[in-house]
């Protein structure tokens, strides 16, 4: 077995490439003159469990109900849609532009206990609420002691 002396500077180019990849993923470049694309919009989502349901709440401000789609396939629930920009204002007239618009997609794996046939969704004031009921077989049943 050959003994090789460790050179800490040999890994520096690899480290530089890894750091560059992290920044490229965090701040993607837009098609407009190499400016950072700061508007890759992903709606905020909370998921939690209640007694016999799983609840998903997504904040979708300025999104119309007609522009939201919920699909369930292979135990994965997908929420997708689009937030459109309705104002016809030229980019050159903006002093600041922070609100993002465009398509979005979020997907979540459902637990095995979820019943895909018993899903209810409501949309009010820009908040989407999805309630997923558990299958009857997965609910704990009380056994009486005789």
How far apart, in whole angstroms, are the C-alpha atoms of residue 61 and residue 48?
21
**Cβ-count burial of 130 within 10 angstroms (0-12 exposed, 13-18 middle, 19+ buried)?**
buried
Claim to verify: residue 45 and residue 25 sit in the same structural domain: no
pLDDT per position as a tens digit, 104-131? 999 999 988 888 889 999 999 999 999 9
Domain that holds residue 110: 41-137
| DSSP annotation of 91 | G
**Domain check: are 33 and 50 in the same one?**
no
Whether residue 145 is contained in a domain is answered as: no
Which is nearest to 56 in space by CA: 126, 124, 139, 119?
Answer: 119
Closest CA to 131 of 84, 68, 70: 70
13-68 pLDDT per residue, tens: 777 788 887 877 776 655 444 455 556 778 999 999 988 899 999 999 989 999 99
Q: Sign of the C-alpha dihedral, residues 108, 111, 76, 21?
A: positive
* Structural domain count, the chain: 2
Residues 115 and 93 reside in one and the same domain: yes
Based on the fold, state whether residues 69 and 83 are members of the same structural domain.
yes
């Amino acid at each position: 077995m050959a003994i090789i002396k460790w050179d800490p500077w040999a890994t520096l180019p690899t480290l530089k490439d890894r750091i560059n990849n992290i920044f490229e993923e965090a701040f993607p470049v837009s098609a407009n003159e190499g400016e950072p694309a700061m508007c890759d919009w992903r709606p905020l989502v909370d998921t939690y469990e209640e007694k016999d349901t799983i609840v998903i709440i997504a904040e979708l401000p300025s999104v119309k109900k007609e522009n939201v789609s919920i699909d369930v396939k292979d135990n994965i629930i997908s929420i997708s849609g689009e937030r459109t920009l309705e104002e016809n204002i030229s980019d050159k007239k903006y002093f600041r532009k922070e609100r993002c618009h465009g398509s979005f997609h979020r997907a979540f794996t459902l637990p095995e206990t979820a019943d895909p046939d018993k899903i209810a969704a409501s949309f009010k004031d820009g908040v989407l609420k999805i309630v997923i009921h558990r299958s009857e077989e997965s609910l704990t049943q009380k056994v009486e002691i005789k």
